[in-house]
Structure 1
Amino acid sequence: MSDYKLGLDYAKAQDNLDELSAYKQQFHIPKDADGKALIYLCGNSLGLQPKSTKAYINQELEDWANLGVEGHTEAKNPWLPYHEFLTEATAKLVGAKPIEVVTMNSLTANLHFMMASFYKPTKERYKILIESDAFPSDKYAVESQLRHHGFDDKDGLILWSPREGEELLRNEDLEAILKAHGSEIALIMVGGVNYYTGQFLDFKRITTLGHQHGCKVGFDCAHGAGNVDLDLHNSGADFAVWCTYKYMNSGPGSLSGCFVHDRHAYDKDLNRFTGWWSHNKDTRFNMRHEFDVLPGAEGWQLSNPPILSMAAIRASLDIFNEVGLEKLIKKSKKLTGYFEFLLKDLGEDTIRIITPENPEERGCQLSIQVLNADKALHDKLTEAGVISDWREPDVIRCAPTPLYNSYEDVYNMVEELKALL
């Protein structure tokens, strides 16, 4: 039995006890036309803007205005090494060593750069395994890699699917696939937290299994970074990529993060696409040198960093660094558990949650099926001031994000849903 209770008084009491509750004041909360704060449960799609972001970006705009090109070396935060200002906090957030992470490009571009290095097909071993309901961009990317290497994109794709009548993936089914087809699979590339169900997969188990069968293993952590304890280094994964605009609150279309395990850090023979920003920093500006790749994840950069986007990421990372992942996940589990408790009180004949019940197998997102309802219900929720996310065919995704959502937010959302039902 849970210790949660019904009623608004309980929600308010939990907010009073919550050591992270003050952080909500550090974010801009969207308002309706009458100036009333909306209930924003959509951080799994676009995170809210920290109030500090403007100052971080303005600093760079001022330095650009006052210094011009000299800002590369003379700015308050010099632009040449700017991406390095993000490294330590990023590594901490995703459970990696600083040498294993870099912020660059956009997510699907990084996925292609990683596959250029880690998808090495042969005639016998060329297939790519992904989850059957992968985020579309991932599916399109791996299909295009198969075509690029001269393989059929249907024959070359192996899907890890839930069982008939189920939504969640089972590890034993992955084991069976690898037992049958492991020698044909060059790459396993799955979404670490599934965008639709919210299922958080067991990275270490998948990686160990993949490596036992001679496969390279990578993860798309778009729905994991800033949400769950990814523990990327200890997972042993060859690579991972993520976006920073969901749980990491860096703004629409902002840059992506990239992880490459440190066992690959000094392998200069790894095939990769290169550019001058992956070249030795000491000789980068002596334009006549032959290419000399940097060690670690930095060796996959191509171009100098887009400073304004990185300034927004830095603003958010400073908040994460201050809070710490441990406290964030502790609140996340409690807040999402409370949300689950309130939804279940509506009755299983009304609501079905397809996200795993085990808190270790999910982040803060709950994916809700409302029986006999369609998108009209989601539209009514939006009109009632609840910002959530609809995914076809019948799921409302809600993410009570621990940095800026409260117990009262969750309580009010369920009350609005109850009223509509």
Structure 2
Amino acid sequence: MTDIFSIDYARQLDQQDPISRMREQFHIPKQDNGDDEIYLCGNSLGLQPKRTQEYLNYELSQWQKLGVKGHFSGDFPWMPYHEFLTEESAKLVGAKNSEVVCMNSLTANLHFMMVSFYRPTATRNKILIEDHAFPSDHYAVESQVRYHGFDPDQAMLLAKPREGEETLRTEDLLNLIELHGEEIALIMLPGVQYYTGQVLDMKAITQAGHAKGCKVGFDLAHATGNIPMHLHDWDVDFAAWCSYKYLNSGPGSVAGCFVHEKHHTNMELPRFAGWWGHDKDSRFKMENHFIPMKSAEAWQLSNPPILSLAAIRASLDTIKDAGGIQALRDKSLKLSRYLRDLLEQELADEINILTPADEKASGCQLSLTVNLHGLDGKTVFDRIEAAGVTCDFRHPNVIRVAPVPLYNSFEDAYRFVTILKDSLK
């Protein structure tokens, strides 16, 4: 039998990897000894593509040379700059070009979407969200519920795993929607759950929600750039995502938003409006009568920060160079499977993997807990970090590890498991 736990086998897999060349297009952080870090934290902050500096420097030079004329001059004028990101963004989430826009931050976009799509009534006012939602999502939902005058204890419907389980079962979510659907105004769930790395069945959830008259939106912070999606075909009402995880656009970079085209011509749909969402042909007439564009751009408020958009454009071009989201997914399945196989072969008694083994229900990230008596996850995390691994820890006891296909290698996976074994002693 082939020994999969060997550096020679890992390097053989890297040689067979059709996109292994992409690693050279990223800046890999260094350890104190000059070696590359084993960077497995792209689920929190992606690494910097080498072309990012070039794209940023170009815009800085345009600003130096042109001043305000940069809005209309050069290869990438600032006035329509967000449009240069549209096509590749749409491909990542399975949308039409008119359905996506880069704007704001993730939580701000969720709030703006709830202004339009959370329209509670006395009998239909609940929001379905998972019990262990990312805190910002929970805060946003709770504040929206309070803003509309409802009690979060009554209007927030929390989906929980079964007793003794860590992940949500699709049948339980669908049963919850079936049971409470007449009371649910909005379903807002993650595409990929941040803590466990579980991929939810967005298509089935959307169909079930719509069958009960609910609006359905998704937080795709951990999904965009990680897994292929088909938001338009799934008939999702809205979605939002950040761009600094799997999209590698830098800390706090501008977020993305999806609004299904069926909502674009609904002039009765409430929204918070701004100048940048106004019809382009009449925007500079400076009239005080808002005419929304018939696209997701209608939800924009202000002209976006060009330097941040330049970083996103660099990342999207890098993903395009790799062959797009399907090429990334093809490698990700092999890379995450290899890491899982190593963990199960070498550390089955010491490590528990929370992330589902089913490939349809998992992405890049594997969430691990330590089973050894007297040794907690934080201690192990500190040890592997000291040994040159960058991943992250989430309370109470989860080490999140994300082998990202754009820049991580099979050798990274092998070396991580080697260090983890030593750290468990």
- Are 2:402 and 1:399 aligned? yes
Deviation at 1:14, TM superposition (A): 0.7
**Residues 352-411 of structure 1 deviation map (CA, whole Å, 9 limit, x = unaligned):** 101000111111100011113320110111000000110111110000000000000110
Go from structure 1 to structure 2 and tell me whether the alpha carbon gap of 1:24 and 1:282 turns closer, same or farther (over 3 Å shift).
Answer: same
Measured on the aligned residues, the alpha-carbon RMSD in Å equals 1.2
Question: How is 1:131-142 mapped onto 2 (pairs within 5 angstroms)?
Answer: 131-142=130-141
Q: Kindly indicate whether the alpha-carbon contact (under 8 Å) linking 1:67 and 1:75 is maintained by their aligned counterparts in 2.
A: no
Question: What is the CA–CA distance in structure 1 between the aligned matches of 2:163 and 2:368, rounded to whole Å?
Answer: 19
Question: What is the CA–CA distance in structure 1 between the aligned matches of 2:3 and 2:340, rounded to whole Å?
Answer: 10
**Residues 184-206 of structure 1 deviation map (CA, whole Å, 9 limit, x = unaligned):** 11000001100000000011100
Name the residue aligned to 1:336: 336
Select which of 375, 381, 385 maps to 1:382.
385
SS in 1 for 2:42: coil
Question: What is the CA–CA distance in structure 1 between the aligned matches of 2:96 and 2:340, rounded to whole Å?
Answer: 35
Name the residue aligned to 1:364: 364
Name the residue aligned to 1:95: 94
After superposing on structure 2, the runs of 4+ consecutive aligned residues of structure 1 that deviate more than 3 Å are none
Name the residue aligned to 2:282: 283
Q: Kindly indicate whether the alpha-carbon contact (under 8 Å) linking 1:57 and 1:311 is maintained by their aligned counterparts in 2.
A: yes
Unaligned stretches of 5+ residues in structure 2: none
Question: What is the CA–CA distance in structure 2 between the aligned matches of 1:5 and 1:345, rounded to whole Å?
Answer: 9
**Most deviating of 318-327 and 200-209:** 318-327
**Residues 312-338 of structure 1 deviation map (CA, whole Å, 9 limit, x = unaligned):** 000000011222111110000000000
SS in 2 for 1:34: coil
Deviation at 1:305, TM superposition (A): 1.5
Q: Kindly indicate whether the alpha-carbon contact (under 8 Å) linking 2:81 and 2:306 is maintained by their aligned counterparts in 1.
A: yes
- Amino acid corresponding to residue 405 of structure 2 in structure 1: P
Q: Kindly indicate whether the alpha-carbon contact (under 8 Å) linking 2:178 and 2:208 is maintained by their aligned counterparts in 1.
A: no
Question: What is the CA–CA distance in structure 1 between the aligned matches of 2:168 and 2:2, rounded to whole Å?
Answer: 29
- Are 2:26 and 1:23 aligned? no
Name the residue aligned to 1:190: 189
Deviation at 1:137, TM superposition (A): 0.5
Name the residue aligned to 2:177: 178
User: How many pairs were matched up?
Assistant: 420
**Residues 229-250 of structure 1 deviation map (CA, whole Å, 9 limit, x = unaligned):** 1211112110000000000000
- Identity %, equivalent residues: 58
Question: What is the CA–CA distance in structure 1 between the aligned matches of 2:143 and 2:288, rounded to whole Å?
Answer: 34
Name the residue aligned to 1:350: 350
**Most deviating of 108-117 and 151-160:** 151-160
Go from structure 1 to structure 2 and tell me whether the alpha carbon gap of 1:138 and 1:360 turns closer, same or farther (over 3 Å shift).
Answer: same
Question: What is the CA–CA distance in structure 1 between the aligned matches of 2:219 and 2:169, rounded to whole Å?
Answer: 18
Deviation at 1:289, TM superposition (A): 5.0
**Residues 158-199 of structure 1 deviation map (CA, whole Å, 9 limit, x = unaligned):** 011100000110122122222321111100000110000000
TM-score, normalised relative to structure 2 = 0.97
Question: How is 1:162-241 mapped onto 2 (pairs within 5 angstroms)?
Answer: 162-241=161-240
Question: What is the CA–CA distance in structure 1 between the aligned matches of 2:2 and 2:298, rounded to whole Å?
Answer: 49
SS in 2 for 1:390: strand
Name the residue aligned to 2:6: 7
Q: Kindly indicate whether the alpha-carbon contact (under 8 Å) linking 2:274 and 2:301 is maintained by their aligned counterparts in 1.
A: yes
Name the residue aligned to 1:419: 422
Q: Kindly indicate whether the alpha-carbon contact (under 8 Å) linking 1:283 and 1:289 is maintained by their aligned counterparts in 2.
A: no
